[in-house]
Structure 1
Amino acid sequence: MIVQIQGNVKFPITLDPTVWIFDDRKMTFDQVFHPEKAKAEEEEEDEIKRKSLRFTREVYQQKLNPPVNKSIRRQEKEQILKGTFLMPLKPFLHTSEPDSEVKEAALVTDEGEQTISADQLAESVLLFAEEGKPLKENGPVHLYFNDGSNRSHPIKGIKKIVMK
């Protein structure tokens, strides 16, 4: 359940997608491929937060201890348990510091090797959780191009990324 970034890089690194569920950089499938739908959900969430803050201020004015807002935590937990999440690949590639001469990357999968440009790889996202569960079948990650051109046919079963 790990993915290695190696090849013509200064620092070969190993990624563990199973811990990304706790990473703040993760994005939902809708945030990446349906931004208008995700924006509507965020606005609804912001409205709930505003109401919560207003309630908390009113309670403070009465000099009472504010109650813990368990509904928001419960909502976040349900989202994690049921959500489909992707992680941008760019920060990890930046950390590995590829050589300036790197032009392409080989994605080593269960079914062989697929080569894509380094720029296209940097602008890609990795699907690591579907319906709140790690990708065990055809996993640990699936690669989607940010433009959505391979949304129906992602590159699956990536075990290693070799920068060339």
Structure 2
Amino acid sequence: MADIITVTGAVSHRITIDPSVWIFDDRKIDLAHFTGDLDEVQDDVPAYLKGTGAQWDKELKEGSLPPSESRSMIKERKALIGDYAMRLSWFLDNAQPDPTAVSLKLHREEGEPITLPLSQARRAILQFSKDGKPIRENGPVLLYLPDMWKQKESPIDRIVSFELI
């Protein structure tokens, strides 16, 4: 099983993604509260950056304080017991697909590759954590499309790379 997933093909930037560090990303989706509706998940990167910028400005003006122990401990404990995912679209956007790209081929460690229309792949989520631990068996990520999540279908597993075609 590969721990790093590559994004290649018809892209401006070939990238590698490491799901083991996503636990620290504020954009992660808590699957305990996820219904499969991607509209409920904030996909607004400018809002994320605006919040980060506001915090930066505040710390420049007022100085920074160390995190309170109780708040940070609660967040750390929650991260160690939850199931989390990230939207695939964030990584596809970073790779900057060519305008000619229409499909995403999922290369898997075992089994035939799966090809999805790019519009459908953009709505996928990648589960990277189960019970607060990286997904080792069948991982490092499990791909769910919104309908798969809603209908509790088995995810696409054993993904080693994404290729835009």
TM (normalized to structure 1)? Answer: 0.74
* Pairs within 5 Å for 1:11-90: 11-33=13-35, 69-90=68-89
Structure 2 counterpart SS, 1:32 = coil
Structure 1 counterpart SS, 2:23 = helix
How many residue pairs match? The answer is 133
After superposition, the Cα gap between the structure-2 partners of 1:13 and 1:7, relative to the gap in structure 1 and judged at 3 Å, is same
Aligned residue for 2:55?
Answer: none
CA distance in 1, matches of 2:7, 2:73: 36
CA distance in 2, matches of 1:87, 1:150: 19
**Considering only CA atoms, is the larger Rg found in Structure 1 or Structure 2?**
1
What is the alpha-carbon root mean square deviation over aligned residues?
2.0
**Which structure 2 segments of 5+ residues have no match?**
41-66
After superposition, the Cα gap between the structure-2 partners of 1:113 and 1:34, relative to the gap in structure 1 and judged at 3 Å, is closer
The AA in structure 2 aligned to 1:110 is E
Aligned residue for 1:98?
Answer: 97
24-33 or 123-132, larger mean C-alpha shift: 24-33
**Which structure 1 segments of 5+ residues have no match?**
39-67
After superposition, the Cα gap between the structure-2 partners of 1:134 and 1:118, relative to the gap in structure 1 and judged at 3 Å, is same
CA deviation digits over 1:41-75, x for unaligned, max 9?
xxxxxxxxxxxxxxxxxxxxxxxxxxx85333222
Tell me if the contact between 2:29 and 2:86 (Cα under 8 Å) persists in the aligned partners. yes
Structure 1 runs (4+) deviating above 2 angstroms are: 30-35, 68-74, 146-152
The AA in structure 2 aligned to 1:95 is N
Tell me if the contact between 1:144 and 1:150 (Cα under 8 Å) persists in the aligned partners. no
Displacement, 1:18? 0.5
The AA in structure 1 aligned to 2:93 is H
Tell me if the contact between 1:124 and 1:146 (Cα under 8 Å) persists in the aligned partners. yes
Tell me if the contact between 2:139 and 2:157 (Cα under 8 Å) persists in the aligned partners. yes
TM (normalized to structure 2)? Answer: 0.74
Aligned residue for 1:124?
Answer: 124
Identity %: 33
